[in-house]
Amino acid sequence: MDENNYISGPDRLQQLNSDFISSLKEWSTEDIEQEPKLHIGGQERPILSVSITKLISHINKFTSIWKSIPKEQKQEFRGIWYIDCRGLYIESSLDDVLSMNIDSLLEFAPIQFDHSIVDIGLPLFATTRFLGDTSFYNVKFKREMRFDHTVFVGNVNFDRAIFSRNASFINCDFRGINNPSFQQVDLSKSIDFTKAKFNRAPVFYGTEFKASLPFNEATFNKNAKNLFQKDMHCDIQAWRALKNIASAQKNQHDEAVFFTLEQRYYRKAYLALRLVWQKELFRAQQGRQGLGDLLVLDTWHPSSLKYWKFCDVRWKSIEWFISWLYDLISEYGRNPNQAIGWLFGLNILFLLLYKTILIMSPSAFYFSDISTHDLPLKQHPALFFTLQNLFNPGAAFSFKTVIYPNNILVLFLSIFQFIGTNLVLILTALSLRNRFQKS
């Protein structure tokens, strides 16, 4: 151990990778005339062949050492401390299938499978926990691959991966601080993210889906929790791309979901834009952004003022309020149940307010000269007045109505009830249309 109480991690971990790679043989195949060469670590190297049992043994040994290293040291050496599985041909034999306990939970330290070929008939990556950054860049999966119930604690990259058969990410949990990247992925068949969980918006630029978007019951970071301003802008672009894909596929439900997320993130980012850093580096040093920066005392120090400026937001405040209201009432037209609930709840609230005023002022209402003595509702003027405003919002200002407000507070409340009820009715109608319209 050195003076910082660090264990001798770098030498052991790098030596483990070196010993593992040197023990492998070059992969040979009759499918191609010339063996492929890869540029890995600045050197040209052929694809190496490894059995799944030998690979798992190396992963377990590396991970056990890596887990015991202090967190600060892992962060400092994250660029070199990863399991090197680049440029491998991973295969499994019948003996591997019989000897492996695939029901056991596997944990992987940061790992890179870049440029590898995975030809295994085992659900190796299902119910697996990837403890650090994981890269499957340009990996060819020759058989059906299952990442069901897998947890990616760190960032994950599947760019340019080739799935020769179906790929399943059911109940997969993506917890990384960066966007899960599936750019330019070659999907020969289907990919399934049913009930998957995403902390960041997945990126699918350049990827063509063979079937409809596979996000049934998937959950997303719908409130942009713990995201910085630039993170939200990245996610806005990702949501917009997914929305466009859903629109092209006439997938109305998913299009509404991604539109909601795009608008919500845009609204959140808009608030953060009240304070914009002229230099992104200074904002990163602060560790905060947007409105949060206003709470930092250093922000107002004379030496810091030159690094930021206020945005002109005066002309967009109404737009932001409408966006917030639309989201609050119906989730941007995606949730008619919520909109109908607001319609009933709003009028019940005004009914209770009218009843309260009536108790305090029994003469708060009076009836017109129309024969209403036999009306049962005359004994419940608050209820009748609420229904009157609901079905005939302008009745309080008409000469042909049954009940009038005899209290200035009731009059003002009836105006708010009229505005609120009609606004909610409009948004309810929009949400019903968006929910049930034909594609």
Q: How many alpha carbons fall within 13 Å on the CB side of residue 150? A: 26
Q: Are 363 and 406 in contact, with CB atoms under 8 Å apart?
A: yes
In a domain, 127, yes or no: no
In a domain, 343, yes or no: yes
pLDDT at 396: 58
pLDDT of 111 over the 90 cut: yes
* Nearest CA among 203, 163, 161 for reference residue 179: 203
Among 93-97, 315-319, 368-372, the range of highest mean pLDDT: 315-319
Token pair 């289907």: residue: 190
pLDDT grade for 109, boundaries at 50, 70 and 90: very high
pLDDT at 236: 92
312-320 CB contacts, 8 Å cutoff, 24+ apart = 313/270, 313/273, 313/274, 316/270, 320/267, 320/270, 320/271
CA distance 352 to 354: 5
pLDDT of 337 over the 50 cut: yes
pLDDT at 221: 92
Question: How large a percentage of the chain has pLDDT more than 90?
Answer: 30
pLDDT of 104 over the 70 cut: no
Name the pTM for this structure: 0.78
pLDDT at 288: 44
CA distances from 419 to 134, 267, 355, 357, 393 (A): 53, 24, 20, 20, 9
In a domain, 402, yes or no: yes
Total tally of structural domains belonging to the chain = 1
Contacts of 196 (CB under 8 A, 6+ apart): 169, 170, 171, 172, 173, 174, 215, 218, 219
Q: Is 275 left (phi over 0), alpha (psi -120 to 50) or beta?
A: beta
Specify the higher pLDDT residue, 178 or 294: 178
In a domain, 1, yes or no: no
pLDDT at 438: 58
pLDDT grade for 189, boundaries at 50, 70 and 90: confident
Average pLDDT over residues 64-82: 88
Tell me the residue range of the domain where 375 lies: 333-436
pLDDT grade for 33, boundaries at 50, 70 and 90: very low
In a domain, 76, yes or no: no
CA 117 to chain centre: 30
Specify the higher pLDDT residue, 85 or 314: 85
pLDDT at 10: 53
**What is the tens place of the pLDDT at every residue in 207-259?**
988 877 789 899 999 888 888 777 888 899 999 999 999 888 888 888 889 99
Average pLDDT over residues 339-343: 88
pLDDT grade for 278, boundaries at 50, 70 and 90: very low
Instruction: Tell me which of 46-55, 168-177, 181-190, 371-380 is least confident.
Output: 371-380
In a domain, 345, yes or no: yes
Q: Are 200 and 180 in contact, with CB atoms under 8 Å apart?
A: yes
CA distance 439 to 434: 10
* Beta-bridge partners for 141: 118, 163
pLDDT at 316: 62
Angle formed at CA 385 by CA 384 and CA 390, multiple of 5 degrees: 95
In a domain, 110, yes or no: no
In a domain, 394, yes or no: yes
Question: How large a percentage of the chain has pLDDT more than 70?
Answer: 76
pLDDT of 35 over the 80 cut: no
Average pLDDT over residues 106-127: 88
Average predicted confidence (pLDDT) for the chain: 80
pLDDT at 46: 83
pLDDT at 242: 93
Instruction: Tell me which of 106-115, 131-140, 215-224, 393-402 is least confident.
Output: 393-402
pLDDT of 41 over the 90 cut: no
Average pLDDT over residues 96-124: 78
pLDDT grade for 298, boundaries at 50, 70 and 90: low
Tokens standing for 12? 């052991």
